[in-house]
Chain A
Amino acid sequence: MSGETLIELKQVSKVYRPKVKAAFSDAAPGVIAIEKLDLAFSKGEFSAIAGPSGSGKSTLLNLIGTIDAPTDGTIAFRGKTVTNLDENALADFRLHQLGFVFQAYNLIPVLTAAENVEYPLALQGVSRAERRARAIEALSWVGLDGLADRRPDLLSGGQQQRVAVARAIVHRPAVVLADEPTANLDSKTAASLLDMMLDLNKKHGITFIFSSHDPTVLSRARRVIHLQDGRLQ
């Protein structure tokens, strides 16, 4: 690990307000999901965000991943604030710097495993031949050699989540954000997925930040950040 700070959150809050007319919005109390959080992540980390349901784990990952905007505070990536970027700049930032793994796999059902993995590269404008080669390589890293041309509905849950991990790492992002990646998997498959992610972290230096409330999963993390009611414990 280099120790370089990749992501830094300063006084970040997220309040969900009910959708009411503007005249009443100030009066509506809202739900505090994240409250004045100061947090930093370094390059090469394999960190977990832990906490019970409703503690703000997913919200925090969404904020780091810039797919949701904080109500207050700033988030910086390699020292540059990203919370003030417009939608296109945020999309470009996610495309080049981040990879996502979701709880429900969220593969595109009409594309094969390789085509799903290729997609971030296609968005980057990488040539067809190169993206195919890199997708096959990424699938190989996650142990799915020979399954490149299968559609998601012909893969098991564990295999689908491995495809999702391959899709998240294929474009060499600075950070992979995984929201409860093992929640839908049995314990054996979950352990295998975690081992694979840890292996990618060690071998290829990919930074992982994932959320979970499963103690077995959390035990694999080098750093565990505990959240309770949107605050660090």
Chain B
Amino acid sequence: MLLLAWRNLWRNARRSLLTLASIACGVAAIMFGQSMIKTIQWQLIEKATGIITGHLRVQNKEVKELKFPEKNYGDLPKLEKILAGDPDIEAYEHRILLTGLVSGKNDSNGVLLCGVEPKRDPKVTTMSTYLAQGSWLKGDGKEIVMGDQLADALGAKLGESIVVLAQASDGSMGADNYKIVGLFHAGSQTFDKAIAFVPLAAFQETLAMEGRANDLVIKLRDPERLEEARSRLSAALAGEPLKVLTWREVDEEITGVQAYQNAILKIVLGIVFLIVALGILNTVFMSLFERVREFGILKAMGARPSFVLRLVLVESCMLGGLGGGLGVLTGVGLIAYYRQEGLPLPIGEAMSQFLPFDTILHLRFDWPTHQTAIAAVVVTSLLAALPPALRAAKLKPVDCLRHR
């Protein structure tokens, strides 16, 4: 049967090659699309968690605004002991995130003020890697690092002092002079125009929040162990007025973008599967129509209907398998090429309005989803061949032999 199926496949080589090409293009397009969407998602997550969000966050239980926690927590030494013994945690730092005002000689701007631990912060986030001028925070008194666009707007330069104003925990306004020690350029307006970093200790003093913070950010050794790490930390913090959040809860917009992209990907995949299925259906039907008499001969010789059914399905499987194989090779080649060379996408500029985002995507393989798509193409080719195969199996031998 395999021999006959294989030879039947090449009976009309041009038609079979066209079908193979359409399946291969479909598979390669699916793999490429999956890789592109997944790479964008990976980068979004990596950038968001790496720059500001972290993998896990610990905040006061009563906090409602997760990005700008309005409640504080204390007893930092007790927390340190719990965090130090956790095998999933690579690094962590206490922060104070607060909206406030910075004033230079030209202007005043509303910003997100981040009080960070200068020594720990570079181990937790990548913000210090975007430094363009000066140095990162050292923790020596009241120093500030801000985006270059913010400094321009304020008319402030490296080494000059500006005024930082924010609401202290006792309700009064806390204000201090901070010296600009560094300017960063992240390539994102949100960051370069509206975020400034100050040492935690200095900020606590300005805000009369000694020994307190409002945001504990954690970097995990393995981001894939997000839920396990959260569960263990939640258990360890049971009884404390704290809650443990994952980046998915803090950055809901990223999970929203992910869901949106996945939905689009599914629609595109559905269309590609439909095209593949119609191509196979057309090929198999044409091939059946040409061979009706032969099915009659096979049946007259004693082939059971199930044999004819299997013959047609095997032919289709070969078509799907070969086309799928060619598609995988093409897809792997395309992804490997753009992994090496990078794919310039305008999405980078659009995304960088919100988050530093690389405009050149270095594609990555996502084999679990690629495997699903490849299996789906093979199943689609089988399902597409089922109606013509059933029809061939049901034909009466005498009717087949009369077919012209």
Taking beta carbons and an 8 Å cutoff, which residues of A are in contact with B?
A: 62, 65, 67-68, 87-88, 91-96, 98, 100, 102, 106, 108-111, 115, 119-120, 122-124, 167
> Separation in Å of the B184 CB from the closest CB of chain A?
70
Contact of B297 with A94 in the complex, beta carbons under 8 Å: no
Among residues of B, the one whose C-beta sits closest to the C-beta of A173 is B302
The stretch from B4-12, B72-80, B122-130 touching chain A is B4-12
Please name all residues of chain A whose beta carbon is closer than 8 Å to the beta carbon of B302 when the two chains form the complex.
Answer: 91-96, 98, 120, 123-124
Chain B 276-319 interface residues, beta-carbon cutoff 8 Å to A: 293-294, 296-307
**Contact present for B8 and A110 (CB under 8 Å):** yes
B398 contacts across to A, CB distance below 8 A: 62, 67-68
CB neighbours (8 Å) of B294 from chain A are 106, 108
Residue in A closest to B6 when the chains form the complex, CB atoms: A110
Residue of B nearest to A167 (CB): B301
Contacts of A108 in B (CB 8 A): 4, 294, 297-298
Question: B45-80 toward A: CB 8 Å interface, digit per residue (1/0)?
Answer: 000000000000000000000000000000000000
**Pairwise interchain contact B305-A111, C-beta atoms closer than 8 A:** no
Interchain CB contact under 8 A, B305 and A88: yes
Q: Give the most central of A91, A106, A120: most B CB within 10 Å.
A: A91
Kindly state the interface size class of chain B when it binds its partner.
20 to 34
A67 touching B397, Cβ below 8 Å: yes
Please tell me which one of the listed residues B7, B298, B304, B401 contacts residue A87 in the complex, with CB atoms under 8 A apart: B304
Complex Cα spacing A100 to B7, Å:
23
Interface status of B235 (Cβ within 8 A of chain A) = no
Q: How far is the CA of A102 from the CA of B294 in the complex (A)?
A: 12
**Subset of 23 A-B contacts with CB under 8 Å:** A62-B398, A67-B396, A67-B398, A68-B397, A88-B306, A91-B299, A91-B302, A91-B303, A94-B302, A95-B302, A100-B297, A106-B294, A106-B401, A108-B4, A108-B297, A108-B298, A110-B7, A120-B301, A122-B1, A123-B301, A123-B303, A123-B307, A124-B302
Q: Are B301 and A100 in contact (CB under 8 A)?
A: yes
B3 interfacial by beta-carbon distance below 8 Å = yes
Known: A87-B305, A111-B3. 5 other contacts (CB 8 A): A62-B398, A67-B300, A92-B304, A119-B301, A120-B301
Contacts of A93 in B (CB 8 A): 302
Contact B300 A111 (CB under 8 A): no
Q: Chain A: interface secondary structure? A: helix
Q: Which residues of B contact A92 (CB under 8 A)?
A: 302, 304
Q: Specify which of A62, A91, A102 is in contact with B304 (CB 8 Å cutoff).
A: A91
Q: Are B11 and A102 in contact (CB under 8 A)?
A: no
B300/A65 in contact, CB under 8 A: yes
**Complexed CA–CA distance, A111 and B205 (Å):** 91
A100/B300 contact (C-beta < 8 A), A67-B397, A108-B4, A123-B307 known: yes
Looking across the interface, which residue of chain A has its beta carbon closest to that of B302?
A: A95
Chain A neighbourhood of B10, CB < 8 A: 110
Contact with A along B232-245 (1 / 0, CB 8 A): 00000000000000
The 10 A-B pairs at the shortest CB distance, nearest first, are namely A95-B302, A110-B7, A67-B397, A68-B398, A94-B302, A91-B304, A67-B398, A106-B297, A100-B300, A120-B301
Considering the complex, give the chain A residue whose CB is closest to the CB of B303.
Answer: A123
Bound together, the chains give a CA A95 to CA B299 distance in angstroms of: 9
Q: How far is the CA of A65 from the CA of B4 in the complex (A)?
A: 25
| Complex interface: chain B residues within 8 A of A87 (CB) | 304-305
**CB under 8 Å from chain A, chain B span 141-170:** none
Question: In chain A, what residue has the closest Cβ to B3?
Answer: A115
Q: Give A190 to B297 CA distance when docked, in angstroms.
A: 22
CA distance A109 to B401 in the complex (A): 15
- Point out the residues of chain A lying under 8 angstroms from B301, CB to CB: 94-95, 100, 119-120, 123, 167
Interface string of B368-404 (1 = CB under 8 A from A): 0000000000000000000000000000111001000
Within the complex, the shortest CB–CB distance from A212 to chain B, in Å, comes to: 18
Instruction: Give A110 to B12 CA distance when docked, in angstroms.
Output: 11
Distance A232 CA – B220 CA, assembled complex (angstroms): 94
A94 touches B305 (CB 8 A): no
- Smallest CB–CB gap between A13 and chain B, Å? 16
